[in-house]
A and B are shown apart, each in its own frame.
Chain A
Amino acid sequence: MNLKIYLGMLRKAEQTLAESFRQVAAGHAAEPDVHFLCHTLATQCEEHSRLLLPVVQRYGEDPSDNEPERIHAEGLSATRQGPVGLLRDLQDLYLLASLVDVTWAMVKQAGSALRDRELLDVVSRCDGETAVQLRWLQTRMKQAAPQALVVAR
Chain B
Amino acid sequence: MVDRIAEIWGTRTPYPKDGLWPVRVDQALDATVTEGDVDRWVQSACVLCSNGCACDIAVKDGAMVGIRGRAGDLVNHGRLGPKGLFASWQGMSGKDRLTRPLIRENGRLIECDWDTAMDRITQRSRQLLEERGPLSHGFYTSGQLFLEEYYALAVLGKGGIGTPHMDGNTRLCTATAAAALKESFGADGQPGTYADIDSCDAIFLYGHNMAETQTVLWSRVLDRIAGPDRPRLVCVDPRDTEVAKYADVHLAVRPGTNLALMNALVREVLANGWADREYVRAHTLGLDELRAAVEPWTAEAAAAVCDVDAAGIREAARIFGTSSRVLSTVLQGFYQSAQATAASCQVNNLHLLRGLLGRPGCGILQMNGQPTAQNNRECGADGDLPGFRNWENPNHIAELAALWDVDPLTIPHWAPPTHAMQIFRYAEQGSIEFLWISATNPAVSMPELPRIRNILAKPGLFLVVQDLYLTETAQLADVVLPAAGWGEKTGTFTNANRTVHLSDKAVEPPGEARSDLDIFLDYARRMGFTTLRGEPLLPWAGPEEAFEAWKECSRGRPCDYTGITYDRLRGGSGIPWPCNTANPEGRERLYEDGIFPTDPDYCESYGHDLLTGATAGPEAFRAQAPGGRAILKAADYRPPHEEPDGRYPFRYTTGRTAYHFHTRTKTGRSRVLTSAAPTAWVEISPDDAGRLGIREGDLVKVTSRRGRIEVPARVSDIRNGTVFAPFHYGYWDQDGAPAEHPTAANELTITEWDPVSKQPVFKNAAVSVEKISDATGPAPAPTTTASRPAAAAGPRSIRPTAGGKDAEATERVGGSPPRFPDAVRRGPQGGTP
**Across the interface, which residues of B come within 8 angstroms of A41, CB to CB?**
612
Q: Is B3 an interface residue (CB 8 A)?
A: no
- Whether a CB of chain A sits under 8 angstroms from the CB of B168 is no
Q: Does B638 contact A (CB under 8 A)?
A: yes
Q: Is B833 an interface residue (CB 8 A)?
A: no
Complex: chain A residue closest to B428, CB-CB: A30
Is B133 located at the chain interface by the 8 A CB criterion? Answer: yes
Scoring A residues 83 to 124 as 1 if CB is less than 8 Å from chain B, else 0, what string do you get? Answer: 100000000000000000000000000000000000000000
Q: In the complex, what distance in Å separates the CA atom of A136 from the CA atom of B616?
A: 9
Q: Is A152 an interface residue (CB 8 A)?
A: yes
* B751 touching A151, Cβ below 8 Å: no
Which stretch, A10-18, A32-40, A51-59, A62-70, touches the partner chain B? Answer: A32-40
Question: Which of A37, A136, A153 is in CB contact (< 8 Å) with B431?
Answer: A153
- B753 and A142 contact, CB distance less than 8 A: no
Partner of A136, one of B418, B613, B751: B613
Q: How far is the CA of A33 from the CA of B419 in the complex (A)?
A: 12
Name B's interface SS: loop
Contacts known (A142-B415, A146-B415, A147-B426); A136 close to B614, Cβ less than 8 A: yes
Measured in the bound complex, the distance between the Cα atoms of B253 and A94 in whole Å is 38
Question: Of A32, A132, A133, which one neighbours B751 at CB under 8 angstroms?
Answer: A32
A144 and chain B: residue at smallest CB distance: B415
A50 within 8 A of B: no
Tell me the bound Cα distance from A33 to B420 in angstroms. Answer: 13
Whether B755 sits at the interface, judged by CB under 8 Å, is: yes
Q: Give every chain A residue within 8 A of B641 (Cβ-Cβ).
A: 36, 39
Residue of A33, A39, A82, A83 touching B753 (CB-CB under 8 A): A33
CB-contacts of A124-151 with B (<8 A): 132-133, 135-136, 138-139, 142-143, 145-147, 150-151
Return chain A residues, CB-CB under 8 Å to B611.
Answer: 40, 132
- A74 is an interface residue with CB less than 8 A from chain B: no
Q: Does B132 contact A (CB under 8 A)?
A: yes
Q: Evaluate contact between B135 and A151: CB separation under 8 angstroms.
A: yes
Quote the shortest CB–CB distance from A110 to chain B (angstroms): 25
Does B805 count as interface, using CB distance less than 8 angstroms?
Answer: no
A31 to B755, CA, bound (A): 12
By a CB distance below 8 angstroms, the chain A residues around B638 are 40
A138 to B755, CA, bound (A): 14
Chain B 737-780: CB-based contact to A (< 8 A → 1; otherwise 0)? 00000000000001111010000000000000000000000000
User: Given the interface contacts A31-B425, A146-B135, does A83 sit within 8 Å of B612 by beta carbon?
Assistant: no
Interface residues of B in 485-509 (CB under 8 A from A): none
Cβ B431 vs Cβ A151 within 8 A: yes
Of B135, B421, B609, B615, which contacts A147 at CB under 8 A? Answer: B135
For the complex, give the distance between the alpha carbons of A150 and B432 in Å.
11
Cα-based distance from A86 to B615 in the complex (angstroms): 20
Task: Say yes or no: is B831 at the interface (Cβ < 8 Å to chain A).
Answer: no
- The answer to whether B431 and A135 touch across the interface, beta carbons within 8 angstroms, is no
Are A146 and B414 neighbours in the complex by a CB distance under 8 Å?
A: yes
Once bound together, how far apart are the Cα atoms of A41 and B615, in whole Å?
A: 16
Contacts of B616 in A (CB 8 A): 135
Residues of B within 8 A of A145 (CB): 415
Q: Given that A142-B414, A143-B416 are known contacts, is A132 also in contact with B612, CB under 8 Å in the complex?
A: yes
The residue among B418, B426, B431 with the most chain A CB atoms within 10 A of its own CB is B431
Q: A135 to B641, alpha carbons, bound, how many Å?
A: 22
A-B pair count, CB < 8 Å, reads 70
| CB-nearest residue of chain B to A37 | B612
Determine the interface band of chain B, counting residues with CB < 8 A from chain A.
Answer: 20 to 34
Q: Which residues of A contact B415 (CB under 8 A)?
A: 142-143, 145-146
- With both chains docked as a complex, state the minimum distance between the C-beta of B163 and any C-beta of chain A, in angstroms: 10
Bound together, the chains give a CA A28 to CA B730 distance in angstroms of 30
Residues in B whose Cβ lies below 8 Å from that of A142: 414-415
B426 partner residues in chain A, CB cutoff 8 A: 147
A151 touches B132 (CB 8 A): yes
- Please give the distance in Å from B677's CB to the nearest CB on chain A: 32
Nearest CB on B from A33, distance (A) = 7
Residues of B within 8 A of A36 (CB): 641, 752
Partner of A83, one of B418, B429, B615: B429
Q: Which of B135, B421, B609 contacts A135 (CB 8 A)?
A: B609
Please give me the residue from chain B that is nearest to A41 by CB atom. B612
Known: A33-B755, A37-B612, A136-B614. A150 touches B425 (CB 8 A): no
Within 578-617 of B, Cβ neighbours of A (below 8 Å) are at: 609, 611-617
> Given A33-B753, A142-B414, is A151 in contact with B136 using a C-beta cutoff of 8 Å?
yes
Give the distance in Å from the alpha carbon of A147 to the alpha carbon of B426 in the complex. Answer: 8
Complex contacts, B615 vs chain A, CB 8 Å: 135, 139
In the complex, the answer to whether B612 meets A152 with C-beta atoms within 8 Å is no
Q: Which residues of A contact B627 (CB under 8 A)?
A: none
Residues of A within 8 A of B164 (CB): 146
CA distance A152 to B132 in the complex (A): 9
How far, in angstroms, from A45 to B638 measured CA to CA in the complex? 16
Instruction: Give the interface centre of B164, B416, B425, B753 by most chain A CB atoms within 10 Å.
Output: B425
Q: Which residues of B sit under 8 angstroms from A138, Cβ to Cβ?
A: 614
Which residue on B lies nearest to A153, using beta carbons? B430
List, in ascending order, chain B residues with CB within 8 A of A152's CB: 429-431
Complex contact A150–B429 (CB within 8 A):
no
Kindly list chain A residues whose C-beta atoms are within 8 Å of the C-beta of B431: 83, 147, 151-153
Contact at B414–A136, with CB atoms within 8 Å?
Answer: no
Closest to B414 in A: A146
Complex Cα spacing A135 to B426, Å: 23
Shortest CB-to-CB span from A61 to chain B, Å, is 28
Bound-state CA distance A132–B289 (Å) is 15
Closest Cβ of chain A to B610, distance in Å, is: 10
Which of B425, B429, B614, B750 sits near A139, CB closer than 8 Å?
B614
Residues of A within 8 A of B609 (CB): 132, 135-136
Find chain B residues with CB under 8 A from A83 CB.
Answer: 429, 431
Tell me the smallest distance from the CB of A81 to a CB of chain B, in Å: 11
Considering the complex, give the chain B residue whose CB is closest to the CB of A39.
Answer: B641
B614 contact from A132, A147, A153, Cβ within 8 A: A132
- A146 CA / B416 CA spacing, docked (Å): 12
A23 to chain B, nearest CB (A): 18
B405-422 to A contact mask, C-beta < 8 Å, 1/0: 000000000111010011
Task: Report the bound CA distance from A145 to B431 in whole Å.
Answer: 13
Q: How far is the CA of A145 from the CA of B414 in the complex (A)?
A: 10
Quick one: which of B84-107 are within 8 Å of A by CB? none
Per the bound structure, the CA–CA distance linking A82 and B428 in Å amounts to 12
Question: How close is B642's CB to chain A, nearest CB, in angstroms?
Answer: 10
| CA gap between A133 and B612 in the complex, in Å | 8
A32-B133 contact in complex given A83-B431, A136-B614, A146-B415, C-beta closer than 8 Å: no
The distance in angstroms between the C-alpha atoms of A139 and B641, with both chains bound, is 22
Residues in chain B near residue A143, CB distance under 8 A: 415-416, 418, 422
Closest to B338 in A: A36
Residues of B within 8 A of A32 (CB): 421, 750-753
How far is A10 from B25 in the complex, measured between Cα atoms in Å? Answer: 70
Assembly CA distance A135 to B421 (angstroms)? 22
Q: How far is the CB of A97 from chain B (nearest CB, A)?
A: 12
Rounded to whole angstroms, the CA-CA distance of A152 and B750 in the bound complex is 25
Chain B positions 785 through 823: 1 when the CB is less than 8 Å from some CB of chain A, otherwise 0 = 000000000000000000000000000000000000000
The 5 closest A-B pairs by CB, nearest first: A135-B614, A136-B614, A136-B612, A151-B135, A151-B431
**What are some 30 contacts across the A-B interface (CB < 8 A)?**
A30-B425, A32-B421, A32-B751, A32-B752, A32-B753, A33-B753, A33-B755, A37-B612, A37-B755, A40-B611, A82-B429, A83-B431, A133-B612, A135-B617, A136-B609, A136-B612, A136-B613, A136-B614, A139-B612, A142-B414, A142-B415, A143-B416, A143-B418, A145-B415, A146-B414, A147-B426, A150-B133, A151-B132, A152-B430, A152-B431
Binding site for A on B (CB under 8 A): 132-133, 135-136, 164, 414-416, 418, 421-422, 425-426, 429-431, 609, 611-617, 638, 641, 750-753, 755
Contacts A135-B617, A139-B614, A143-B418 given; 14 further ones with Cβ under 8 A?
Answer: A33-B752, A40-B638, A82-B429, A135-B612, A136-B614, A138-B614, A139-B612, A139-B613, A139-B615, A142-B414, A142-B415, A143-B422, A147-B431, A152-B430
